[in-house]
Amino acid sequence: MMFRIFPHLVVNRFGVIEMETVEFGGVVYNARHGGAFDRGSADSYYSREREPHYYVGDTAMSARIEESEMTPEAIEAYNAGYDYNEEYGDKKNYD
């Protein structure tokens, strides 16, 4: 069992604080809900076009940062999330 103490940190069942991360292409990305990697993977899952963005906190519950305001690292994380889901993820079935 895990529970969230901050948007990007969780406490695992042993009481250890962990950052939610995903390794892809030899790079470790912060995979917190609402972050750039998470938003990229979500856009892929819902078969949306690439539109780099992320949220300062949780998705749709905090300020949305658009591509024009993103750092190159955040854009890379978004694209990595998109590519990760394309390679290993799932797609929403709209039927």
Q: Would you say 40 and 79 are in contact if contact means Cβ atoms under 8 Å apart?
A: yes
> Which residue from 8, 9, 19, 5 is spatially nearest to 57, judged by alpha carbons?
8
Provide the whole-model pTM: 0.82
Cα separations in angstroms, 41 against 17, 28, 49, 90:
24, 15, 11, 10
pLDDT at site 9:
58
pLDDT at site 18:
67
Instruction: Give the domain ranges of the chain.
Output: 24-95
pLDDT at site 12:
65
Q: What is the pLDDT along the chain (95 residues), one digit of tens a residue?
A: 544 444 455 566 677 666 788 999 999 999 988 999 999 999 999 999 999 999 998 899 999 999 999 999 999 999 999 999 999 999 999 99
pLDDT at site 70:
98
What is the β-pairing status of strands 17-19 and 3-6? unpaired
- For residue 7, which phi and psi values (nearest 5 degrees)? -55, -25
